[in-house]
Amino acid sequence: MGLKFSIERNGLLSLRGHGLAHATSSAQKPLILAPWLWGGLVAVVGVIDMWGSRFNINPDGISYIEMAQHAVAGGPDGFINGYWSPGYPILMAPILRLVGHDWVTALPALHLVNLTLFLLAGWLFTRVLRATLADAFMRFAAPVGTAVFLAIAVKCIGLGLVTPDMAVMLVVVAAAACCLQLERSLQASRVAVALGAVLATGYWLKGIMLPLGGMLLVLLWLMPPHTERARRKIGLAAAVFAVGCLPLVVMVSARVGRITMGEVGRLNYAWEVDGVVPFVGWVGDSIPEFGAPLHPPRVLQAAPQTLEFARPIRATYALWFDPSYWYAGVHAKFDAAGQWRALREGITDFRWLVELTAVVVIGMLTFWLATTRGVRDPGRARITIVLALWSGGATMVYALVHIEPRYLAGFILVAVIATLSGLRRRVPRQRFGLIVSVVVLAVLVAVGKNVLENTGGFQSGYRPDYIIDGEKLRAAGIARGDPVAMVGDAFEAYSAFAIGSPIIAQVMDSAGFWQLDAAGRSELQGRLSGAGVKAILANNVNASMVTEGWRILSRSDSSNLGVLLLRRLE
């Protein structure tokens, strides 16, 4: 769009305060590091976190990766899913096209996507903070921005998580930057177009960003920025937002079979609030008002419940690759008691989030206590209130259903921008520079501790257990593409992902399986074999099961993976 966030002479991001030149001399002393060194610190922390967690994988990440794989193999239609949004797989697809599915190479390469998003978000947040702060605080933008960003991005998300949350954080900060520019830019129409495009990008990354983007536009309409023809420009942003979102709404609706923005919100409400059997294996609920499944997995055996789901979706774990298919027919209903329970849990989770980011919360409070009233700057109050309300509104939307720190990382950064924007009406006290130095150091120490505790695998030639398990499964006779079944939880069956073996059946009740006598297990294994399963996998198999043909594959953490071949594999 031609926007240059780093240029200030033409009015873009030139949002400095006035009348604060009388700040104390101690506040004017620079911190030890030059601004570019603070940027370098963000890069160093990002590289360390990314490299230490380069083989990290998670259930959501497998679904996103396999969407990209389907698109690379079969065309753009592979990006469209009723539950997962296509933006993140679109970013992954070029890497998978280049490196293939050798996960020893591909997974570290895919984590470079997160690193790139992390660096862009850090740079933009610092630029926005610099544009927000008054002249008296300008030299603190780099250290404060670096410390706050690292604390939120690393502690709430982290570079090892294969989800679009880092990209959403970047989009949310970019939307805040556009809002600030709307008020002071000489090219507000172009900024309005950029705002609409940024919010539409958010929807392509995560379905919840459609209503949250709409919320921001409504707030801007109700409290328009101080610029000429403000509401006309907000209308322009809304039009661009609608045009950007419409193609995805059409494609997702075609995939689901009815008009929908995406099924993630409806399904999460059914799971978290209504209490519908969550996530996988829905064959109907005892309460008829929740509907009846249109595409239930097939029940091979009632006790222990054993499901088969080989068709029509082909993925490592088809039940989680597209929950909108398996939960077609569910009816999410408003339930006051369930909503109150979910809200209480959301408030509890939010309290935990505050504890997680306590060092940032304490830092923001300390900054305010280390300043005193100065010259009023009423022109900025309105847009600051809009950003604060957007951050709080997004938090409440999540609290009504389910909160995780990674969901709110971008909105926490926006709340920080709104909080520090209030310093434009204040001036630093005498020891402000020293206080900032102490707070920044404390935040960075907390970040460093978090990185060291949550990353590993720095050794040369390191490979995670699931890669090693995959190699052992191949040696045991399971070839790429051979269908397998899982006893118990299949969300973290990463060894099946590593060797490209789809899980097509699952014994949902693992305790019930092991409580069967040998004849009962043999009968169930026959049913699984008849359904096309070539091997059964199970975690932490008792050594005594070797007598029934199980092979025990030990792991570095003293756990094991058991494998039972149901018939000879060609």
Output the pLDDT for position 508: 94
Which of 217-221's residues contact partners 24+ apart within 8 Å by CB, and which partners?
Answer: 217/241, 219/386, 219/389, 219/390, 219/393, 220/179, 220/182, 220/386
Query: Coil, strand, or helix at residue 317?
Result: strand
Compute the Cα dihedral for 472, 475, 481, 482 and give only its sign.
Answer: negative
Beta carbons of 480 and 496 less than 8 angstroms apart: no
pLDDT in tens, 313-368: 999 999 999 999 999 999 888 888 888 998 888 888 777 777 777 777 787 787 77
Output the pLDDT for position 338: 87
In whole angstroms, how far apart are CA 113 and each of 79, 109, 259?
17, 8, 32
As a whole number of angstroms, the distance between CA 183 and CA 388 comes to 16
Output the pLDDT for position 7: 32
Structure tokens at 330: 């569910």
Beta carbons of 484 and 535 less than 8 angstroms apart: yes
As a whole number of angstroms, the distance between CA 112 and CA 307 comes to 37
Work out the burial of residue 389: count CB atoms within 10 Å of its CB; fewer than 13 is exposed, 13-18 middle, 19 or more buried: middle
- Nearest 5°: CA angle at 276, between 205 and 330? 70
Output the pLDDT for position 20: 31
Pairing of strands 298-301, 306-308: antiparallel
Output the pLDDT for position 251: 97
Output the pLDDT for position 25: 40
Q: Tell me whether the omega of the peptide bond preceding residue 304 falls within 30 degrees of 0, making it cis.
A: yes
Of 137, 123, 111, the residue nearest 170 (C-alpha): 123
Element (H, E) at 219: helix 209-222
Output the pLDDT for position 55: 92
Amino acid, res. 114? N
| DSSP characters over 108-119 | HHHHHHHHHHHH
pTM over 0.85? The answer is yes
The low-confidence residues of the chain, meaning pLDDT below 70, are 1-33, 185-186, 286, 374-380, 457, 567-570
